[in-house]
Amino acid sequence: MPDRVDPCLAMLVDKPPKGPDWAFEVKWDGYRLAVYVEPDRVRIITRGGYDWTPRFGSIAVEARQLGYETLILDGEAVVLDDKGRSDFGMLQRALGRKPSLHDPREILFFAFDLLYVDGWDLRRLPLRERRWLLDPIVAGRTGAIRLSEEVEADGKEFYRIACAHGLEGIIAKHRDRPYHSGRRPDWQKIKCVRSDSFVIVGYEPSTMPGAIGRLLLAARKGEGLAYVGGCGTGWSYQETVKLRDLLDEIVTDAPAVALRRKSAVFTRPVLVAEVEYRAWTQDGKLRHPSFKGIREIGDSGDVFILGG
């Protein structure tokens, strides 16, 4: 049995592949893990090779109860929100050292591949055979270890539905390929991009002359505004110089949000940025935001409402 197997990683692509040779799954927003069941121990290893077994105690206990002397499961640890969607922020809180509303026992492991079982190294088998062997091990389980279901659907339609339901995206895997460590086109990920409007409440200057380093953004919350993070990508140098000139015309000494930033230049909340982003962090900030455009606050479109 291998001491460790480097994970197979999915390549980021713009759209799902076509054809019957591809299987589709939900893209889970969590921590990639491998569960190693051995005769005298269970190990839970992260994508980077760290042993996090103590942090996933309920998963380790259930892995021992699967009934196999040796086993390597590949999958993702997640915490689900009230709509059944994986939430990375909730997972971080459940793993945190500080007291949290989320119990570590809420962490689930969705297995999507089987690499080794009772003396047999399965990595040379095609995905369809590995999944055929995985199903009876974890299918139907409702505890800490569960099966990441394959979805029988057209990739384009599945992607549309996944994005409409607020999922992070989908994964496409070629059914006839063996398991290869590293990033390969055999596995592909297609992410859902969220796009919303946020009020510009200031900026942080760039180290480049006359440019902006980060826009400071806010969403509506009740009768006021709440800071949701900064955005520092999605523009050219020339565009950010023009944007800084525009913002310098509406500088104010009265910030629209409660925010302390030594280098921040605050502006009146009269302009709105269109921003693409992946998700929200555990402390209510935008994950991977990218600037797409600007308009006046009275223009068409609604500013994002927290809790709305």
Low-confidence ranges of the chain (pLDDT < 50): 99, 300
- Give pLDDT, residue 232: 93
Q: Considering the domain delimited by 194-296, tell me its CATH architecture.
A: Beta Barrel (2.40)
At the top level of CATH, the class of 8-191 is alpha beta
List pLDDT tens digits, range 69-84: 999 999 999 999 888 8
Catalytic residue check, 27: yes
Q: Cα-Cα-Cα-Cα dihedral of 160, 187, 44, 141, to 10°?
A: 50
- Give pLDDT, residue 308: 59
27, 221, 262, 292: the active-site residue? 27
pTM of the predicted model as reported, rounded to 2 decimal places: 0.72
Joined together, the tokens standing for residue 100 give: 């949290």
List pLDDT tens digits, range 219-260: 999 889 999 999 999 988 988 999 999 999 999 999 999 888
- Could you tell me the residue ranges of all domains in the chain? 8-191, 194-296
